[in-house]
């Protein structure tokens, strides 16, 4: 049994799990795809049992046939020689992706398989399955039609804009991100809505929000209490204004969350909910590779241990 962890060398969240696995006597190989092909050597051959062979790092040799658990954490892109031309770089990167990525994809025991992460990161896709799983989903519109957006917002009344991804961009040397943003009636039909897909959602009154971390069906709920105006709109915008507690998750929500993850083929995920003053839980989104370390720190729930357990459990 060997656990393969795909992440960068500076991922302290992964460090914690690696230390726990090591304490349990479980062999671990930490590998950053950025080290392929310059520091990692792949040698694999197909046979009657599929792909076998080795991945050799400067410090370890991984026998692919021994891998029983793989954690896709925060791997970086392949790093190729800077001397390559653009054409050479693109050829090498694509071949590395298909070769290294293809072999790795063939292994089993993923938390989570990168294809599942890729699919689940599409918010319309996850909202579709959340509805199918019986979770309450706020009224939501995705459009690039300003006129339709204006009409929908007028019918809903209190509306927020939410990006469909987790966009970040660089302008004039500064990094920008977009959080959930309330919009006012004068913005509802803005022509700039026509320039790409935009998502609008009914704004809900909040008693508190919940980050529900799930690992192989185990639930680690954390109520997030916001104590500033910015944090009340989007808790990501003001971490210093947050406090945490452990709420009781209604059975219907728990069942829906498990069903959602089954539909999305995710063994790990961080789900976000709003709990309204009437006690109803409203599903906002699922983060298939969301951070959990700070939740563990604030609530004391053993999430790292659960991940270590999952990585040493043979996938069904």
The site map against another protein for 71-90 (x = CB under 8 A) is -x-xxx--x-----------
Whichever of 84 and 177 has its CB closer to another protein, that residue is: 177
Task: Among 38, 106, 108, 115, indicate the residue that binds another protein (CB under 8 A).
Answer: 115
Task: Among 59, 248, 251, 279, indicate the residue that binds another protein (CB under 8 A).
Answer: 59
| Residue 269, CA atoms < 13 Å, CB-side half-sphere | 27
Q: Taking a C-beta distance cutoff of 8 angstroms, is the pair 244, 299 a contact?
A: yes
Alpha-carbon distance values, 149 to 139, 269, 283 (Å): 13, 31, 22
- Other beta carbons less than 10 A from residue 241's beta carbon: 15
Residue 277, burial from CB neighbour count under 10 angstroms (0-12, 13-18, 19+): exposed
| DSSP β-ladder status, 41-47 and 140-143 | unpaired
Residue ranges in 191-230 that form contacts with another protein under rule CB under 8 A: 192-193, 195-196, 198
Whichever of 220 and 292 has its CB closer to another protein, that residue is: 292
Whichever of 190 and 305 has its CB closer to another protein, that residue is: 190
Task: Bin 63: left if φ > 0, else alpha if -120 < ψ < 50, else beta.
Answer: beta
Whichever of 28 and 275 has its CB closer to another protein, that residue is: 28
Task: Among 54, 89, 190, 313, indicate the residue that binds another protein (CB under 8 A).
Answer: 190
Whichever of 154 and 277 has its CB closer to another protein, that residue is: 154
Task: Among 34, 92, 156, 219, indicate the residue that binds another protein (CB under 8 A).
Answer: 34
Residue ranges in 231-260 that form contacts with another protein under rule CB under 8 A: 236-237, 239
Cα 37 from Cα 93, distance rounded (Å):
10
The site map against another protein for 292-311 (x = CB under 8 A) is xxx-xx--------------
- Other beta carbons less than 10 A from residue 233's beta carbon: 18
Q: Is 8 helix (H, G, I), strand (E, B) or coil?
A: coil
Whichever of 202 and 299 has its CB closer to another protein, that residue is: 299
């Amino acid at each position: 049994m060997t656990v393969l962890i795909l992440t960068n060398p500076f991922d302290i969240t992964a460090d914690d799990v690696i230390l726990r696995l090591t304490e349990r006597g479980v062999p671990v190989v930490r590998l950053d795809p950025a080290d392929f092909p310059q520091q990692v050597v792949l040698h694999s051959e197909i046979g009657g049992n599929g792909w076998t062979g080795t991945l050799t790092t400067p410090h370890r040799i991984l026998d692919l046939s021994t891998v029983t658990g793989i954690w896709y954490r925060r791997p970086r892109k392949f790093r190729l020689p800077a001397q390559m031309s653009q054409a050479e770089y693109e050829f090498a990167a694509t071949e590395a992706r298909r070769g290294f990525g293809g072999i790795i994809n063939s292994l089993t025991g993923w938390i989570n398989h990168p294809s599942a992460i890729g699919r689940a990161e599409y918010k319309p896709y996850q909202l579709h399955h959340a509805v199918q799983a019986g979770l309450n989903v706020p009224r939501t519109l995705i459009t690039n039609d300003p006129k339709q957006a204006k009409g929908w917002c007028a019918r809903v009344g209190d509306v927020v804009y939410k990006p469909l991804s987790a966009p970040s961009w660089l302008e004039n040397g500064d990094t920008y991100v977009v959080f959930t943003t309330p919009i006012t009636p004068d913005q509802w039909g803005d022509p700039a809505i026509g320039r790409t897909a935009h998502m609008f959602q009914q704004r809900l009154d909040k008693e508190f929000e919940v980050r529900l971390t799930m690992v192989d069906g185990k639930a680690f709920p954390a109520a997030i209490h916001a104590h500033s105006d910015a944090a009340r709109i989007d808790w990501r915008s003001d971490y210093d204004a947050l406090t945490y507690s452990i709420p009781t998750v209604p059975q219907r929500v728990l069942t829906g969350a498990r069903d959602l993850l089954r539909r999305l083929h995710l063994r790990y995920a961080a789900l976000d909910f709003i709990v309204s003053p009437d006690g109803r839980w409203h599903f906002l989104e699922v983060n298939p590779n969301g951070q959990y370390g700070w939740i563990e720190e604030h609530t004391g729930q053993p999430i790292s241990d659960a991940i270590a357990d999952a990585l040493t459990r043979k996938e069904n």
